[in-house]
Amino acid sequence: MLLSEMKKGQNGIISGMGGKGVLQRRLREMGFLKGTKVYVEKYAPLKDPLELIVKGYHISLRVEEAMQITVDDVKQGF
Amino acid sequence: MHKKSITIALAGNPNSGKTTIFNNITGTRQKVGNWPGVTVEKKEGLISKYGYDLKIVDLPGTYSLTPFSIEEIIARDFVLEEGPDVVIDIIDASNLERSLYLATQLREIDCRVIFALNMADVARTNGIKIDAEKLSELLDLPVVFTVGNKNEGIDTLLTKAIELAGSTAEIQQKRKVKYSKDIENAIVKLQDFIENKVEARLAYNLRWTAIKLLENDKIVTERTLREAGNKGDDLFREVQALRAHLMDRFNDDPEIVMTDERYGFIAGIIKKTLTSSAQNRVDISRNIDLVLTHRYLGFPVFILFIWAMFQLTFSVGAYPMEWIDRVVTLFAIGMNNLLPDSVLKDLIVNGIIPGVGSVIIFLPNILILFFCIAIFEDTGYMARAAFLMDRIMHVIGLHGKSFIPMLMGFGCNVPAVVASRTLESEKDRILTILITPFMSCSAKLPIYIILTGAFFSAKAGTVIFAVYLIGIIVSIVSGRLFRTTLLKGADAPFVMELPPYRAPMISSLLIHMWDRGKIFLKKVGGVILIGSIIIWVLSAFPVNIRYSLDYASEIVRVEALYEAEITAAGKSERDVIEKKKDMAIAKLIMARRAEKTEKSFMGKIGKSIAPLFAPLGIDWRGSVALLTGVVAKEIVVSSMGILYAVEKEPDALQSALVKSNMTPLSAFSMMLFVLLYLPCIATMGTIWRETGAFKWMLFSILYSTSLAWIVCFCVYQGGKIIGIN
């Protein structure tokens, strides 16, 4: 499933990344890697962007950017 | 004795507490400038300690050294080209894994690196334990624990840094980032190729150059190919072949594979050095964000903060404003009495003091505003503001971060345009710079206050709010327009850290505030001083004017008339008549001044351009005032004061405006013109500097001024047609 389809309060494991080179590389440099756990902290009041917790820190992405990331093993909880 | 000097560069992620440590080390001995050729702020501090002259350079905060943004290029170039004796990598101890990414990149460049594990106390309370010795051993570099905001560990850090700088040992890295076999093979092959086939002297370390070539790093590739001379083509082909091979092998770009592998290397280090007990973790930040970025509460709280900031800026700022005003007035009176009558005295008393004085009274406002913005920045709220606003900004085709410069535009456009540096993509930056001037800056506010006070007394607040709102709408519409025409393309990815909330340090807030306040003061000192001299010259010359009335003899006549009356009157009435006399004379003096202005160069210029402004409901006085506003918007009010021949500004000017031909409609039209027309000289200069192109400045001038004319024309003529006055 896509990261952008995850709901608030769910966690999942990143299984793949697409997108343009610059975005993809920037995301990887910030720690979005295959096998990394990602938790959806919340969506912004206007439903975009969303706040995630990756590698212990908080980061925000736009929904359209989160659409480039696929996740597996989506569960409720931190 | 000549002391040895050492250059220490501070590197680190944004929000790692780098600035706090820099402030702690250097105190107030900072030099803020620009990095050569670009517009990113460069902070330097010179201190003497332990018998050394230490030059501390604060590199821009970056997550990586991949040259995506100007900041990253600067940081990397400084380390590569300037060769600092030591690089201190400041690492947020609570964020070790991500911080190590930059660290591994620094480690790959040949330089002496020392780690500062900062905010170790916070990490500890969060249940994170780091084995510094192990980390030091694994990466082969000194590691020091620091707590920046409590000034702990800073001395140790400096001593270690000096020690490291003094060590004559070759920088031999025992521990390198090791890549997988295929990549290592490619690196070695490329190294051999460069060494044996190209035989060029490379500027940088061989292994590092090979890695960057494989990563398709634009800057390094260009430089290396240039250095390779006629072998450049061969080298390029070799790199392409190796890259193609790796692409084939991994089914992904080599640079992406290498990023993954660096993180793999980091994961290994983390496993050996970090233990985390996440159970008793108190995350205050998440709790704060339950409110501040809440679905329903987020926006109201945000608006409340912005409202509070403006309240603080303008209502609290009013007190020191009054004090400064008094001091300026006293100073003018003093100079008036002290100096002998001359042209110079006239220049000082009537040109420079009121000109500079009318601007400097905004210093309190500006300082308070920047203080508030510094609080937003230092606490971490700015990032939340961008998080809340991104959806809206994205509609204009902008990044949530653009909101920050636009918000600052309400204060002063000069620092606001500078603040657009936080945007990574150049298109975003230019777009933000172009629309920021439509955010009504604080210098325009006095004009609105005077005009609304005179014509919309009861509804003054609403009208001013409407003007601000129109500014915002114009910037949104312009933003969309530019995004779909001039600056086509998507905005940069919104990948933004939301750092933990931190209590701001008063010293750093003050330094922040002062740095930006200085920009304003420099503007007063330079541009506005020159501007007020020019305006004075234009309004004081020519000296010999043929007045419509012989004011001097008229004054004598009036004086004599009242004197006779006074002698004739009874004792009790004398005071009343005396006052009447003074008023009559003052009126004549002001009338002379107004006529003098009208017949001065400035009056002539104003009258010659007046036909352009007539369809907007602005008379020649307004035209002249607007013209002087090009120097600085603050001057518009004082010019109007002179042109309408009034002594004290607010009250007298307002009644003079009401008596003139101005109507509420034309006052509103003039406010809109002030809102939209070309920015002041200082802003124009900043736009030029920040976009790096004269054409953008020119475009900004033409666009805003023609837009102002069109909007005001429509409003004034339209208003007249539907019968509003």
Which domain CATH number covers B139? 3.40.50.300
3-class DSSP state for residue A53? strand
Measured between CA atoms, how close is B401 to chain A, in angstroms? 12
Q: Is residue B289 one of the residues assigned to a domain?
A: no
SS3 B646: coil
- Contact (CB, 8 A) for B404 and B382: yes
- Best residue in B293, B495, B496, B498 for a mutation probing chain A (most A CBs within 10 Å): B495
Write B582-588 long-range contacts (CB < 8 A, 24+).
Answer: B584/B558, B585/B555, B585/B558, B585/B559, B586/B647, B588/B551, B588/B554, B588/B555, B588/B558
In terms of Cα–Cα distance, which of B282, B283, B304 is closest to B292? B304
Q: Is residue B324 part of a domain?
A: yes
Q: Indicate the average pLDDT of chain B.
A: 85
Does residue B18 sit in the same domain as residue B86?
Answer: yes
Residue B133 shares a structural domain with residue B202: no
pLDDT of residue B256: 87
> Domain ends where: B538, B566, B599?
B599
pLDDT tens digit sequence for B180-189: 899 999 999 9
Q: What pLDDT, on the 0 to 100 scale, is given for residue B650?
A: 60
Statement to judge: residues B200 and B348 lie in one domain: no
Q: For residues B93 and B115, give the distance between their C-alpha atoms in angstroms, rounded to a whole number.
A: 10
Top-confidence residue, B631 or B392: B392
The per-residue pLDDT for range B213-258, each reduced to its tens digit, is 999 888 888 888 888 888 888 889 999 999 999 999 988 888 888 9
**Cα(B181)–Cα(B507) distance, integer angstroms:** 51
Q: Is B285 on the interface with A (CB under 8 A)?
A: yes
- % of residues, chain A, pLDDT over 90: 68
Residue B636 clears pLDDT 50, i.e. is over it: yes
Name the residue facing B101 among A29, A59, A65 (closest C-beta).
A29
CB contact under 8 A, B499 and A58: yes
Confidence band of B172 (pLDDT split at 50, 70, 90) = low
Average pLDDT estimate for B291-313: 88
**B39 within some domain:** yes
Q: Would you state the pLDDT for residue B422?
A: 66
* pLDDT number for residue B167: 76
Question: Which one of B102, B131, B166 terminates a domain?
Answer: B166
Whether B121 and B14 share a structural domain: yes
Choose among B95, B298, B394: nearest Cβ to A56. B95
Alpha-carbon distance B323 to B333, whole Å? 15
Looking at residue B607, its pLDDT comes to 85
The helix or strand, by DSSP H or E, that contains position B131, with its residue range, turns out to be none
pLDDT score at B490: 65
Same domain, B235 and B306: no
Find the helix or strand (DSSP H, E) in which B12 lies.
Answer: strand B4-12
Q: Does pLDDT of B649 surpass 60?
A: no
Q: How confident is the model at residue B366 (pLDDT cuts 50, 70, 90)?
A: confident
Q: How far is CA B492 from CA A50, B262, B324, B425, B602, in A?
A: 16, 25, 44, 6, 47
The least confident of B265-274, B306-315, B476-485, B524-533 is: B524-533
- Please count the residue pairs, one from chain A and one from chain B, whose beta carbons lie less than 8 angstroms apart: 110
Chain centre distance of CA B618: 33
Q: Is the dihedral of CA B196, B197, B203, B207 positive or negative?
A: negative
Q: Is the pLDDT of residue B710 over 70?
A: yes
Clarify whether residues B443 and B303 are in a common domain.
yes
Token digits of residue B159:
């001593």
Which range of B124-128, B165-169, B665-669 scores highest in mean pLDDT? It is: B665-669
Taking every pair of Cα atoms in chain A, the longest distance, rounded to a whole number of angstroms, is 32
Cross-chain residue pair A59–B392, CB shorter than 8 Å: no
**Weakest mean pLDDT among B76-90, B162-176, B231-245, B378-392:** B162-176
Query: Do residue B396 and residue B491 come from a single domain?
Result: yes
Q: Quick one: B137 and B12 in the same domain?
A: yes
- Of the two residues B644 and B55, the one the predictor is more confident about is B55
State how far the Cα of B409 lies from the Cα of B323, in Å rounded to an integer: 26
pLDDT value at position B90? 95
pLDDT at site B647? 60
Q: Is B97 on the interface with A (CB under 8 A)?
A: yes
Q: How many CA atoms lie within 13 A of B194 on its CB side?
A: 27
B489 φ/ψ sector (left φ>0, alpha ψ -120 to 50, else beta): left
What contacts B717, CB < 8 A, 6 or more positions away? B615
Quote the strand ranges of B35-163, DSSP E. 41-49, 52-58, 86-92, 113-118, 128-130, 143-146
Q: Which residues contact B666 (CB under 8 A, 6 or more apart)?
A: B616, B617, B618, B716
Percent share of chain B, pLDDT over 70: 93
Domain housing A50: 3-76
* Inter-chain residue contact B494 with A61, CB threshold 8 Å: yes
Residue B1: which pLDDT band, with cuts at 50, 70 and 90?
Answer: very low
Closest partner CB to B387 (pick from A23, A27, A44): A44
Selection from B514, B503, B496, B287 nearest residue B378 by Cα = B503
How much is the average pLDDT of B638-653? 70
Please, what's the largest Cα pairwise distance for chain B? 114
CATH number of domain containing B210: 1.10.287.1770
CA atoms within 13 A on the CB side of B409: 27
Q: Do A49 and B101 touch (CB under 8 A)?
A: no
Structure confidence by residue, pLDDT tens digits, B429-447: 899 999 999 999 888 988 9
Res. B396 pLDDT band, cuts 50 70 90: confident
* Whole-complex ipTM: 0.96
User: pLDDT, tens digit, for every residue of A11-20?
Assistant: 999 998 887 7
Higher-pLDDT residue of A25 and B668 is: B668
Which residue would you say has higher pLDDT here, B659 or A58?
A: A58
Distances in Å between the Cα of B56 and the Cα atoms of A49, B143, B342 are: 38, 19, 51
**What pLDDT score was predicted for residue B36?**
62
Closest residue, chain A, to B385 (C-alpha): A44
Residues B158 and B196 reside in one and the same domain: no
**B403: phi > 0 → left, psi -120 to 50 → alpha, else beta; which?**
alpha
| B363: Cβ contacts below 8 Å, ≥ 6 apart | B320, B324, B517, B520, B521, B524
A 10 A CB-CB count for B573 gives 12
Please identify, among B196, B217, B251, the residue that sits at the C-terminal boundary of a domain: B251
Give the chain B residue whose CA is nearest to the CA of A24. B256
- Residues B354, B496: one domain? yes
> For residue B471, is pLDDT > 90?
yes
Mean pLDDT to the nearest integer, A6-35: 88
Amino acid in the structure at residue B598 = E
Task: Pick B101 or B571 by higher pLDDT.
Answer: B101
CB-nearest partner of B293 from A26, A30, A44: A44
Q: Within a 13 Å sphere around the CA of B663, how many CA atoms are in the beta-carbon half?
A: 11
Domain with B582 in it:
546-599
The number of domains in chain B is 4
B543: pLDDT strictly greater than 90 = no
Say how far apart CA B90 and CA B59 lie, in whole Å: 11
Q: Which residues of A touch B (CB under 8 A)?
A: 21-31, 33-34, 41-42, 44-49, 51, 55-62, 65
Predicted local confidence at residue B558, as pLDDT? 84
CA distance B442 to chain A (A): 30
CATH number at residue A10: 2.30.30.90
Answer whether A44 sits within 8 Å of B101, measured CB to CB: no
Does the pLDDT value for residue B284 go beyond 90? no
Residue B71 lies in a domain: yes
Total domains, chain A: 1
What's the confidence (pLDDT) of residue B670? 94
Give, for A69, the enclosing helix (H) or strand (E): strand A69-76
Q: Find which of B68, B285, B494 to mutate to test the A interface (most A CBs within 10 Å of its CB).
A: B494
**Of A59-73, B101-115, B541-555, the least confident:** B541-555
